A and B are shown apart, each in its own frame.
Chain A
Amino acid sequence: MRAALGSHFNSCPTFSKSMAASMALRRELCSLARIFIDISPLAPRALSACSAHRRFNIIRSHLPSTSSTSFHTATVFSSTLSSVTVTEEPDSLFQKVSVLVKGHDKAVLDSYEFFATMAAKELGISISKVYEPHKDTERLTLLKSIHIFKKHRVQYEMRTYYRCIELSHITGCTAQVYLEYIQRNLPEGVAMEVTKTTMEKIPDHILEPMWKDHPVDDKPSQ
Chain B
Amino acid sequence: MASHTCKTFLSLGRINVPGLGLQKTASRAAYATGLPVNTSAGNKGLPDRSGRGSSVRKPKRDVGEPRTKKMPVDQDWTAVYPAATPFRQDSIPLPVRMGYPVKGGVPPEKKGNLELIKIPNFLHLTPAAIKKHCEALKPMCTEWPSTLDTDAKCDEHFPIKAESTDYVSAGPSVRNPSARIVHLKVKLSSLNLDEHARKKMLKLVGERYSKDTDILTITTDSCPLRQQNYDYAMYLLTVLYHESWKTEAWEAEKTVADMEEYSWEDSPSQRNILDVLVRMKVVGEGEGQDVREQLLGRKEVQEYKDSVTRLKNEGESEDAMLQYKEAVKKVFNL
The answer to whether B285 has its CB under 8 Å from any CB of chain A is no
The answer to whether A53 has its CB under 8 Å from any CB of chain B is yes
Instruction: Flag if B148 contacts A169 (CB, 8 Å).
Output: yes
The answer to whether A194 has its CB under 8 Å from any CB of chain B is yes
Could you tell me how many residues of chain B have their Cβ less than 8 Å away from some Cβ of chain A? 74
Nearest to B49 among chain A residues (CB) is A11
Given the known interface contacts A14-B57, A122-B134, A123-B138, the answer about A95 and B82 at a Cβ–Cβ threshold of 8 Å is no
Q: Pick the most buried of A65, A112, A201: most chain B CB atoms within 10 A of its CB.
A: A65
What is the CB-to-nearest-CB distance from A106 to chain B, in angstroms, rounded to a whole number?
12
The answer to whether A191 has its CB under 8 Å from any CB of chain B is yes
Q: Pick the most buried of B140, B168, B169: most chain A CB atoms within 10 A of its CB.
A: B140
Chain A residues within an 8 Å CB radius of B131: 122
Chain A residues within an 8 Å CB radius of B161: 95, 197-200
Instruction: Flag if B57 contacts A13 (CB, 8 Å).
Output: yes
Nearest to A181 among chain B residues (CB) is B137
Bound-complex Cα distance A53 to B137 (A): 7
Q: Which residues 48-102 of B sit at the A interface, judged by CB distance below 8 A?
A: 56-58, 67, 76, 78-80, 82-85, 91
Bound-complex Cα distance A123 to B159 (A): 27
The answer to whether A6 has its CB under 8 Å from any CB of chain B is no
Instruction: Flag if B130 contacts A202 (CB, 8 Å).
Output: no
Instruction: Flag if A52 contacts B140 (CB, 8 Å).
Output: yes
Chain B residues within an 8 Å CB radius of A37: none
Instruction: Flag if B245 contacts A209 (CB, 8 Å).
Output: yes
Bound-complex Cα distance A17 to B140 (A): 45
Q: Which residues 115-161 of B sit at the A interface, judged by CB distance below 8 A?
A: 119-120, 122, 124-125, 127, 130-145, 148-149, 151, 154, 157-161
Chain A residues within an 8 Å CB radius of B166: 193-196
Instruction: Flag if A202 contacts B58 (CB, 8 Å).
Output: no
Bound-complex Cα distance A65 to B120 (A): 16
A-B contact pairs, 18 of them (CB 8 A): A8-B15, A11-B42, A12-B56, A73-B79, A91-B142, A105-B119, A115-B122, A115-B125, A118-B127, A171-B141, A173-B142, A177-B141, A187-B84, A193-B166, A198-B163, A201-B158, A206-B238, A218-B249
4 closest pairs, A vs B, by CB?
A122-B134, A187-B120, A199-B158, A209-B245
Kindly list 19 other residue pairs between chains A and B, CB separation below 8 angstroms, not including A11-B46, A12-B56, A200-B160: A9-B42, A50-B140, A65-B85, A95-B154, A108-B120, A123-B141, A171-B142, A171-B143, A178-B137, A188-B120, A194-B166, A196-B163, A198-B162, A201-B157, A201-B159, A202-B160, A203-B160, A206-B238, A216-B246
